[in-house]
Amino acid sequence: MEREYVESTMIRSYGFDSSTSILEVEFNNGAIWHYFDIPESVFYEMKSAGSCGKFFNANIKGHYAEGQVG
């Protein structure tokens, strides 16, 4: 999955696969996690948020199934 790099104190990059509804997040510590069944609209809201880390913590973490992949 292709990821977009961002300026964030928490997130290094993220990408979205619309065919599987998986959001892939690479954190600044090198960990990579998948978040499942993410609506495409939520991904675009994250992209346009002033702080993707704050958006992630408020709207994704703990709200969707997740799994560490790297």
Instruction: Find the helix packing angle between 40-48 and 52-59, rounded to 10°.
Output: 140
pLDDT per residue of the chain (70 residues) written in tens, 0 to 9:
899 999 999 999 999 999 999 999 999 999 999 999 999 999 999 999 999 999 999 999 999 999 999 7
Contacts of residue 58, defined as CB under 8 A and 6 or more positions apart, other chains included, come to none
d(CA 49, CA 20): 23
pTM of the model: 0.94
